[in-house]
Amino acid sequence: MEEKILLVDDEEGIRKVLGISLADSGYLVFTAENGDEALRIFRQEQPAIVLSDIKMPGMDGIELLKKIKRENPDTEVILITGHGDMELAIKSLKYEATDFITKPISDDDLERALQKSREKIILKRKLKDYTEHLESLVLQKNQKLTVAEKQASESRTAVFDEMPFYMTVHDRDFNLLAANRLFREYFGDETGRKCYEVCKQTKSPCSDCPVVRTFENAKSNQSEILLTAENGSQCNALVWTSPLKDPSGAVNRVMVMAADLSRVADIQDHLSSLGLMIGSLSHSIKGLLTGMDGGVYLLDSGLSKKDANQMGEGLEIVKLMADRIKNMVLDVLYYAKEREVKKERVRLSDFAEGVADVIAPKMKKNAVSFIRDFAPDMKDCEMDEDQLRSALINILENAVDACTEDKSKPSHTVIFRCRADEKEVLFDIQDNGIGMDEEKKKKIFTLFFSSKASRGTGIGLFVSDKIIRQHGGTIEVKSEPGKGTQFCVKIPKTS
């Protein structure tokens, strides 16, 4: 049987072209030109996959996604976005979109997103089949209690124990009445305790608990839940419930099955991050190359006119663009490869001076006063010198940029401090630049978030935070709009 797919886009041309492509791939295609029409067709046809544009008149793709997920959480929704809609694309993932693809849509991107949707559909169907089979088995066994009840019970226990996912039985008070072998290996033998204490490490039930819903509606319910063991290890799980009834037909227990989706989630996160990185870098590189073209033009024009000033101006622009491309490539390399921290003993005073020497020319060029405030007689420290230098330079470069963006003050200063005691080393970087509000401050270490518009990739501070955490350190930020920003980095003196 053909898999149903609903295609939603306000542009008729896109609906026609994509509709033909999807039909050629074996799908039964339904189309809608707006969100309201899409909801009507969705309720009538119940397609397994919905492919929708994000930006549409009236109901947009995000709102359509939320309504579809409320009505049928099993539906896989893929959103189509333009290059400038990355923030909306990220938002769609928070509302459980399966994936997003950018315009213009390539066949490879479309097939990758559809393949991911098919894999999730197959996984959910298999889990449902397992559930229905087990529910039937349990009911049959309950109805055929005989003199050989003990033998039948042992058989059920064996089947129950060998299931390849976590399996438990709960009562109305959230008590764990039984658990299979895989559950006991991960969470321990915790029968008799509350399920939320064992599986979530909390003191109260989940706000949208599928067990509660099953007791209320006597139906199977499904949810994706983050499970947490007592040792702190976590896994994303697809949880499926099934009602167990007493002889009168009332639900007196609920069987819960949970399949570990951590690997699937990791792959989805990686692919989403990769897509975001490509979009972000494409936009940034295009801007840098445009700037470099302008510099080359000025340089070429100055050579033909023998105008030294124009040649100098063009050369400065080319050097600036080349430097930004170099920094971008270094940031991407740090992000793309999980590097081991290779600590060595480093003379702290020499290290601090070396970092300051690297950034000093940029300070001077931008007329920013640079103050080095290093404590005397600082002893050696264990660190990965190259990585930590890159992390601090990223922060210092952001301080320079914050100063150059601030037009409200006659002069600007960056202070770079270094202190050490017996246990830890402190690097303090303070500027009196443009500053940040609370919203920006919360996001600065988020991958692909940049406060510099087209001049930033949103990778630099993410990489700095990652390097500092790999050293066992912390980074604290204080900032106020119009007054400046202070980064306080602390790392252990020895490993």
Token pair recorded at residue 334: 């740090």
Strand partners, 173: none
H or E element at residue 257: strand 251-260
The CATH number of the domain covering residues in 3-105: 3.40.50.2300
Token pair recorded at residue 439: 């919203």
Q: How far apart are CA 234 and CA 237, in angstroms?
A: 9
- Identify whether the C-beta of residue 195 lies closer than 8 Å to the C-beta of residue 176: yes
The predicted-structure confidence for 340-386, as pLDDT tens digits, reads as follows: 678 889 999 999 998 888 888 888 888 999 999 999 888 888 988 87
Beta strands per DSSP E along 9-162: 27-32, 49-53, 76-81, 99-102
At 454 the pLDDT is 42
3-state secondary structure of 313: helix
At 84 the pLDDT is 59
Residues of the chain with pLDDT below 70 are: 1, 83-86, 89, 135, 138, 141-160, 262-291, 294, 324-340, 447-460, 495
Fold classification of 338-492 is: Heat Shock Protein 90 (3.30.565)
Phi, psi for 56 (deg, rounded to 5): -140, 150
Q: Where are the domains of the chain?
A: 3-105, 124-260, 282-335, 338-492
Token match 């055929």: residue?
Answer: 144
**Residue type at 224?**
E
CATH superfamily, domain at 124-260 = PAS domain (3.30.450.20)
DSSP 397: H
- Identify whether the C-beta of residue 45 lies closer than 8 Å to the C-beta of residue 30: yes
The predicted-structure confidence for 97-147, as pLDDT tens digits, reads as follows: 888 888 888 888 888 889 988 888 888 888 777 777 776 776 776 666 554
- Identify whether the C-beta of residue 492 lies closer than 8 Å to the C-beta of residue 482: no
User: How much of the chain is in helix, strand and coil states, percent to nearest 5?
Assistant: 50, 25, 25
At 28 the pLDDT is 93
At 481 the pLDDT is 92
